[in-house]
Amino acid sequence: MKFDIITIFPEMFDGLLSAGVIKKAVGKGLLEIGLHDLRDYTTDKHCQVDDRPYGGLEGMVLKPEPIFRAVEAIRQPEKSITCLLTPQGKPLNSRLAERLAGFQQVVLICGRYEGVDERIIEYLIDQEISIGDYVLTGGELAAAVVVEAVARFIPGVVGREESVRHDSFVSGLLDFPQYTRPREFRGYRVPEVLFSGDHKKIASWRLKKALEKTLARRPDLLESRQLTSEEEEILEEIKSERKES
């Protein structure tokens, strides 16, 4: 799979490519990342990528010509999707990340300034993506987040693919608590059930803890989830324990 990132600051991605899971995936040939300086697709001597908006507002807007040229030069004819990073986009979640992982090429356009010419959105973009309800100076950090989130769904990128299935949000629940050595630290002990050797009991405990955490922090996830009979039973138990306490 290949990510092609269009930006006026390609150097911002140096850290993403030089460490961690992404570096290993690129080294194995599982992932390819192309960085494209938007200024290379300008035709004037000043390499201008932005201009003042019509209507007299403050700030600058990214021009359509360089972005159209860049996408048309980079985009592959098949199994490709072109995305714009913008606060107005569809919120990035696990389902969207997994869908993007099904493409052979994902073109990411990093917005800047007051945004992009609307004709880019209307006639060039397949998907607008947001990583949250806040504004960044540009889309570069958001693009890095998209690459990281999507890459996890590419087979072989994460050492143990089973761990991806247990990630928060993939299952529709927040993750259960995790513990490691030492067994006791400053009087705080690891729950005894994890040493029981009873895998069924451990799985049940983990499910209950995941449901407890999701109910307390993100009840909206439970509202949109089709619960199993076991989950419904455990939720009723949790709610009953809350009332008693």
Q: Are residues 85 and 203 in the same domain?
A: no
Q: Are residues 239 and 141 in the same domain?
A: no
Q: Are 184 and 194 in contact (CB under 8 A)?
A: no
Q: Considering 123, 146, 161, which residue would you say is the last residue of a domain?
A: 161
Place of tokens 């729950």: 191
Name the phi and psi angles at 238, rounded to 5: -65, -45
Task: Assess if residue 166 is contained within a domain.
Answer: no
What is the rounded distance in angstroms from the CA atom of residue 93 to the CA atom of residue 114? 25
What are the DSSP calls for 2-13, one per residue?
EEEEEES-GGGG
pLDDT in tens, the chain (245 residues): 999 999 999 999 998 888 899 999 999 999 999 999 999 999 999 999 999 999 988 899 999 999 999 999 999 988 999 999 999 999 999 999 999 999 999 999 999 999 999 999 999 999 999 999 999 999 999 999 999 999 999 999 987 665 665 565 667 899 899 999 999 999 999 999 999 999 999 999 999 999 999 999 999 999 988 999 999 999 999 999 999 87
Q: What is the pLDDT of residue 63?
A: 97
User: Could you tell me which residues come within 8 angstroms of residue 36 by beta carbon, excluding any fewer than 6 positions away?
Assistant: 4, 5, 6, 7, 10, 70, 74
Residue 172 region, left (φ>0) first, then alpha (ψ -120 to 50), else beta?
Answer: left
Q: What is the pLDDT of residue 161?
A: 62
**Listed residue (106, 128, 105, 107) closest to 116, CA to CA:** 128
18-52 residues labelled b (16+ CB within 10 A) or e (exposed): eeeebeebbeeeebebebbbbeebbeeeeeebbee
Task: Check: pTM over 0.75? Answer yes or no.
Answer: yes
Q: Tell me which residue range forms the domain holding 222.
A: 184-244
Q: Are residues 214 and 151 in the same domain?
A: no
Counts of helices then strands in the chain (DSSP H, E): 10, 9
- Report the Cα–Cα distance between both ends of the chain, in Å, rounded: 51
CATH value at residue 213: 1.10.1270.20
Tally of domains within the chain: 2
Q: What is the pLDDT of residue 163?
A: 61
Q: In Å, how far from its chain's centre is CA 75?
A: 21
Helix (H) or strand (E) holding 65: helix 64-74
Just list the catalytic residues.
87, 114, 152, 167
User: Could you tell me which residues come within 8 angstroms of residue 52 by beta carbon, excluding any fewer than 6 positions away?
Assistant: 60, 61
Q: Are residues 135 and 227 in the same domain?
A: no
Strands (E), 101-168: 105-110, 127-130
Q: Are residues 107 and 75 in the same domain?
A: yes
